[in-house]
Structure 1
Amino acid sequence: MTEEIVYANLKFQDTDKKENIQKSERCGGRVYTTLETEMIKSSQLQNIKEELQRNVSLQLMHDLNSSKKIGNLSAMLQKIATQLCRELYKKEPEHQCKPCPKGSKWFKDSCYSKLDGFGTWQKSGMLCSARNASLLKIKNRSELEFVKSEGLHGYWLGLLPRKNYVRSEILNENMFLSVGFERSTYDLHKMYCGYLEGIYVYYTYCTLEKSIICEETASKVQVESVLNDLPQESV
């Protein structure tokens, strides 16, 4: 009777061990299957991420190319509008497309405005500065020829004051290499400033009063101001 009980207990324990092993194997299989599934999902997500990155890069390249094309077209349109405006300006000096203040003259990229009244060299420079402009300065040969053609007389120039008197010089662009004349710290009561007389530059006391002409950078021609003036096709 005792041997049968012992045998039964051993058989039960053996069966219990087998069931535990089987359970462990089943659990291990499930863990392996879960890991495999997660690895597949991770791989799929990585592929999706890479595909999105490629698509974004392609879109950015497309947008960049489009921006360049738009920029080139805009620049071309601006150039054409400026050329058209110059032609309109020749016929009508105060045409609405003119990128300069009313009453001024437009040449190349600059506007030239004669102010009413007279002023000392320093006061004239300050009046021009208040308009975001400067006293007339000549930067290149074409501007030199333009100024000569205007036949200006008695206008202050944006030249640095001199300590020593010089009666006259021929107007040339090399005179204007120095800058900063409006904020001069010299004692202008003892200095000589240059003014324009046709193609000559004369010097006199800076404290005397002369005519004023200001030079400023021209604004961009507004494309709409040109397009609005073009003849409309009849419907």
Structure 2
Amino acid sequence: MSEEVTYADLKFQDSSQTENIQKFDKFEKEEPPVPSHVWRQRALALTVLCLLLLIGLGVLGGIWNKCKPCPEEWMWHDDNCYLLLSGYQHRKTWQKSDEICSDYNASLLTIKSKRVLEFIKSLQLNHYWLGLSPRKDNKKYGNLDTSIPFDWFTRNTSVISDKMYCGYIQYASFFYAKCTDTKNIVCEKLAQSVKIESILMSEVLDRRK
């Protein structure tokens, strides 16, 4: 005689299957805890990574110091370096100012392009000698924006007498005053060209020693 399947039996089977599925889902969601040695490995890996980053930053910092195109206290703009010397102790005659710049292997400021002009104007220079050729009068003056190019000085300073006039900058204008007057100094020189490849190689060789 075949067994009769009643409604109660079906309901009991369905509830049993549902309970098993819920238990299975719960088992899947509950991940086993990560062993402590795994956490230690991860912490060690993170520490090593941090150390490598610090070493990398140190190397980059050393390279940057060597790659600086200008000496300390000099400003870098485009291909040139600029040094500002102002204050009572730095106010010198035009000729002495030119000599001081020469000691830095530089020269008094010359402005030969609009880009340099805009940079110099941003510095708001007031009473700084320019590297203009000395004149026999002080009648020439004007706005720097409309006066480039100038007659920039290229000769020996020994030709300058106390009766000559030298150019200086006052914000965005230029004027002439007695070369024996004292004013602030702004020197300029070409920025150093540095080959990154050679610096990187020297860093590697230094670390091997």
Which TM-score band (shorter chain)? 0.5 to 0.7
Aligned with residue 103 of structure 1, among 73, 92, 101: 73
Give % identity. 44
Aligned length: 133
Q: Which runs of 5+ in 2 are unaligned?
A: 1-63, 202-209
| Pairing 1:201–2:174 present | yes
Whether the 8 Å contact between 1:144 and 1:173 is mirrored in structure 2 is no
Correspondence for 1:174: 149
Measured in 2, the distance between the counterparts of 1:224 and 1:166 equals 52
Q: 1:152 to 1:181 in 2, by over 3 A?
A: farther
Q: Secondary structure at the match of 2:100?
A: helix
Measured in 2, the distance between the counterparts of 1:127 and 1:224 equals 34
Whose helix proportion is higher, 1 or 2? 1
TM-score of the two chains, using structure 1 as the length reference: 0.51
Measured in 1, the distance between the counterparts of 2:130 and 2:155 equals 10
Q: Which runs of 5+ in 1 are unaligned?
A: 1-94, 229-235
Correspondence for 2:132: 159
Measured against aligned partners, the alpha-carbon deviations of 1:79-108 in whole angstroms (never above 9, x if no partner) come to: xxxxxxxxxxxxxxxx62321011111011
Q: Secondary structure at the match of 1:155?
A: strand
Whether the 8 Å contact between 2:134 and 2:153 is mirrored in structure 1 is no
Give structure 1 regions of 4+ aligned residues with deviation exceeding 4 angstroms: 224-228
| Pairing 1:186–2:156 present | no
Note the aligned Cα RMSD (angstroms): 2.4
Name the amino acid aligned to 1:179: F
Correspondence for 1:33: none
TM-score of the two chains, using structure 2 as the length reference: 0.57
Q: 1:215 to 1:127 in 2, by over 3 A?
A: same
**Residues 43-122 of structure 1 mapped to structure 2, 5 A cutoff:** 96=65, 97-115=67-85, 117-122=90-95
Q: C-alpha displacement at 1:182, in angstroms? A: 4.7
Which is higher, the Rg of structure 1 or of structure 2? Answer: 1
Q: 1:215 to 1:182 in 2, by over 3 A?
A: farther
